[in-house]
Amino acid sequence: MSTRPKSATAPSEEIVRKHREYLWPAVTNYYREPLVADHASMQYVWDIEGNKYLDFFGGILTIGVGHCNPKITSKIKAQVDKLQHTSTLYPNEAIVALAEKLAQITPGRLQKSFFTSSGTEANEAAILLARMAGSSYDVVALRHAYSGSSALAKGVTAQAAWRKGGVISVGIAHAVNPYCYRCPLHLKYPDCGVACASDVENLIQTGTSGSIAAFIAEPIQGVGGFITPPPEYFKIVYRIVKNYGGLFISDEVQTGFGRTGKKWFGIEQWEVTPDIITCAKSMANGVPVGATVTTADLADKFQGLTISTFGGNPVTSVAARAVIEVIEEDDLLENAQAVGSYFRKRLEELQEKYLVIGDVRGMGMMQGLELVRDRKTKEAAPAETTELMERARANGLLIGKGGLYANVIRLAPPLNISKADVDEAIRLLDRSLSEVRL
């Protein structure tokens, strides 16, 4: 499909003009001519000119079970008419039902939830709790991380573009990340002995007070460009973190709720049970909710009071619970695994065909393509990445971008797509790649 030509009075032009006039420019849009979204259904989005797109980015990994999935929206609509907001000053059926469900699907003894409205707040709460629970203030995070937009979350974030304005990161130290394609230690897996994991210990000994409140990481770095650690990585880091008194926080804002296939949470793929899990994004399929889930013992250690006014409001709680139920009823953990593996195989076929694809990585419905100008030097190809996004959009496929060097294509379709959707996405990607000037 090609984008239809627009008339001089295309409705999108007025909206884009107003966007530029009334919104902060830092809130960036994709594409030379931004796509004005009009409506969506399951794996498809339509723009205001009526063009239809297969959506493989889902509002930045937020549409986990399909746009406007009627199994979710019907429950949201009913709840809006019944009870919309009372704050957590009054318990309600929806919030406890969601919390109970989360206790069932999270690993280990994670049992108690604190609800917020975003991933940023979920991470804030996790770090705050870790600092209250032990005697250390120090936190270890990973380079290339993205944790959110608050002051503390920006301190954890480790990409320059997201750290402007004098970020205060007292008590936060960053270890090298397990970026095998561009190993920060210039080693090669598996001969490296996963030396990047040992760097966490050296960092604690040299860059902190010698004990830590917590280690926080995304199982697969999202904004960082779907950087996927080797199988041993988190087990090694977990042991180090425990030796130095820290809690292990798994930021599942992108990897949560089945995204990586087979398991509810990404960290389970590495067979590590974290002390705290944070989630948001696809947790409620587009309704703003975040959660910080921990053990009963740790939840007891939170000092004083806390609240997030909209956190766990009945409408958002109903939406999140409905998402869990759809994943269970439609067997989407299995689907994400099976269709995700097929997707990966098809992407590797594209890698054989196009030299520009230097690396294919990720898990399940979270697959990344790192684009390079030269496979030997691995020179990043950001212009080609932007061009590929433009071509894909023109051909009817929505994809995302990420990575410190802006050269990683991020692909994250809903968990309930079929192999036929993958075939269509691959056909459109293939066509788009063939149109990119390399």
Ligand X SMILES: Cc1ncc(COP(=O)(O)O)c(C=O)c1O
| Size (the chain), residues | 438
| Cα–Cα distance list, 11 to 14, 164, 193 (Å) | 6, 35, 56
Q: Least distance in Å: CB of 55 to ligand X?
A: 17
- The residue (of 47 and 218) whose beta carbon lies closer to ligand X is 218
- The residue (of 223 and 380) whose beta carbon lies closer to ligand X is 223
Q: Least distance in Å: CB of 436 to ligand X?
A: 26
Q: What is the per-residue binding string for ligand X in 265-304, x denoting contact by CB under 6 A?
A: ---------------x------------------------
CA 391 to chain centre: 24
- The residue (of 122 and 422) whose beta carbon lies closer to ligand X is 122
- The residue (of 229 and 396) whose beta carbon lies closer to ligand X is 229
Based on its alpha-carbon atoms, the radius of gyration of the chain, rounded to whole angstroms, reads 21
**Residue with the two structure tokens 């806390």:** 306
Near ligand X by CB under 6 A: residue from 64, 66, 178, 222: 222
Near ligand X by CB under 6 A: residue from 59, 66, 134, 148: 148
- Interface residues for ligand X in 234-253 (CB under 6 A)? 251, 253
Neighbours of 122 (CB within 10 A): 34
For 100, the 3-state DSSP assignment is helix
Task: State the burial class of residue 84 (Cβ atoms within 10 Å of its Cβ: 0-12, 13-18, 19+).
Answer: exposed
Cβ(281)–Cβ(254) under 8 Å?
yes
Task: Tell me which residue of 404, 377, 372, 375 sits closest to 388, measured CA to CA.
Answer: 372
- The residue (of 146 and 354) whose beta carbon lies closer to ligand X is 146
Is 124 near ligand X (CB under 6 A)? Answer: no
Q: Least distance in Å: CB of 278 to ligand X?
A: 7
Determine how β-strand 408-411 pairs with β-strand 400-402.
Answer: antiparallel
**Which of the stretches 1-9, 32-40, 118-126, 343-351 binds ligand X when contact is defined by CB under 6 A?**
118-126
Near ligand X by CB under 6 A: residue from 147, 260, 337, 416: 147
- With both helix axes pointing from N to C terminus, report the angle between 314-329 and 70-82 in degrees, rounded to the nearest 10: 150
Point out which residues bind ligand X (CB under 6 A): 118-120, 123, 146-149, 218, 222-223, 251, 253-254, 280
